[in-house]
Chain A
């Protein structure tokens, strides 16, 4: 990030009034950045913001309710913050938002596929449009656009939609709404049977670690999640593809009209199940029926939490 120093000094100025500020810092290897909770000036000096700063920090906000918290957000993260505000899960006067124009983040799976063994990465440099990896004695040069996360390729909100301080220049959106959903439309063309087989095959790999749920900023039930509640007993502990598929549908449906497509669920998945597709499909339909996008307007009510007497796009006596 070009304006990193400017961001750091803005945080240093704000820190005395806050309990902590959330950002990213170096992780166990050069290929990863990790969430970073800054409480002192030394912490702020360790801040890094680049294409490896993938984690959506809004995930931590609901559990920090009651504290004064600063948060650094990319465009997609800021939509999660807005959505949390809409649902009164956090208080506006308790969060200070540092926004910037995000140029995209990398997808570790794509890097792994391109570079092979990335267990012992010695160095990783991202400059301009190229990623240079040194691993196991060999060097890999990858084009940044080949390893960017899919969500970044069709990003509609690169700039934070809501922020107290915006650092650096604003960027232009890369795509329109419809362009972000071409993959969903492609998939819809398959036959019903093919789709069913596809999902059963994908879900078969699920190990029910619930990482997708824990990484999701909108999954706020946590300890009361239906996946683990015994009363009502929605899901058994059985290792059966039916239970796994059921869980993912529950997850997707609880996010209907709320999901901001930050892609954390899919990133967190250790077995690379394309679960973001389920959420994107719901978002596409929500847009079609209610002309609504989650996390854009902090005053709006999510469409499934409200209704209209006369629905414009729902046929009443269809059946």
Chain B
């Protein structure tokens, strides 16, 4: 059994290549301690993030999703994060409606030099997810019931 079994949760992070990914790297180079629950997916820009990435992750077993990009007005592509900001804000307000706890998704801005801030963000978010605990999983059709249906049909 892995040492961390049961102690870690599944958190997915979408980080923009130019700022937040760099920020996380800075935190690493600076040897700031940070929790290891986060799995990072590097995207070219926060504007690349289709809100469906986040929904898909959450419905398929992620316990939390963190999105981080360049600060608004600081985007490498000039306006990617402005579009992202609108989409993510609407998504954040929508998710609780389908029964996903509001705290399971957060979006934020971290620049490449803000190693310290990255440490705070990732620590805070991981703590928040651990407080919420593992997300309820969507069960598939009961295998035995399916088998019975199949037998009845044959």
Binding site for B on A (CB under 8 A): 187-188, 192-200, 226, 234, 239-242, 245-246, 249-250, 252-253, 256-257, 278, 281-282, 285-286, 288-290, 303-304, 307-309, 311, 314, 316-319
Interface string of B64-90 (1 = CB under 8 A from A): 000000001100000100110111011
- The interface bits of chain B over 112-150 (1 if a CB of A lies within 8 angstroms of the residue's CB, else 0) are 000000000100110000000000101011000000000
Interface centre among B55, B98, B100, B125 (most CB of A within 10 A): B98
Bound-state Cα–Cα, A182 to B97, Å = 14
Which chain B residue lies CB-closest to A240? Answer: B140
A197 touches B94 (CB 8 A): no
Tell me, yes or no, whether B59 is within 8 Å of chain A by CB: yes
Rounded to whole angstroms, the CA-CA distance of A199 and B97 in the bound complex is 9
Cα of A198 to Cα of B97 in the assembled complex, Å: 10
A289 close to B93 (CB less than 8 A): yes
Q: Are B90 and A316 in contact (CB under 8 A)?
A: no
User: In this complex, what residue of B is CB-closest to A246?
Assistant: B59
Interface hit among B4-12, B13-21, B33-41, B101-109: B101-109
Output the nearest chain A residue to B80 by Cβ-Cβ distance: A307
Whether A242 touches B60, Cβ cut-off 8 Å, given contacts A193-B99, A199-B99, is yes
Contact check, B72 vs A195: say whether CB atoms are below 8 A apart.
no
With contact pairs A245-B98, A246-B56, A286-B90 given, residues A193 and B136 touching in the complex (Cβ less than 8 Å): yes
CB-CB under 8 A from B52, the residues of chain A are: 226, 234, 249-250, 253
CA distance A314 to B88 in the complex (A): 10
The yes or no answer to B28 lying at the interface (CB within 8 A) is no
Using A192-B101, A256-B90, A307-B85 as known contacts, say yes or no to A242 and B106 having CB atoms under 8 A apart.
Answer: no
A94 to chain B, nearest CB (A): 30
A197 to B136, CA, bound (A): 10
Task: Check A196–B51 contact: CB distance below 8 A.
Answer: no
Q: Which residues of B come within 8 Å of A, CB atoms?
A: 51-52, 55-56, 59-60, 72-73, 79, 82-83, 85-87, 89-91, 93-94, 96-101, 106-109, 121, 124-125, 136, 138, 140-141
14 examples of A-B residue contacts, CB within 8 angstroms: A188-B96, A192-B101, A196-B98, A196-B100, A196-B136, A245-B59, A249-B98, A253-B55, A257-B90, A278-B97, A282-B90, A311-B89, A319-B106, A319-B107
- Find chain B residues with CB under 8 A from A195 CB: 96-99
A307-B90 contact given A240-B140, A242-B59, A319-B107, CB 8 Å threshold: no
Distance from B71 Cβ to chain A, minimum over Cβ atoms (Å): 8
B101:A314 contact, CB within 8 angstroms = no
> What separation, in Å, do the CA atoms of A113 and B18 have in the docked complex?
58
Q: Do the beta carbons of A192 and B89 come within 8 Å of each other?
A: no
Which residues of the other chain, A, contact B90 by a CB distance below 8 angstroms? 256-257, 282, 285-286, 289, 304
Contact of B82 among A188, A242, A307, A318 (CB under 8 A): A307
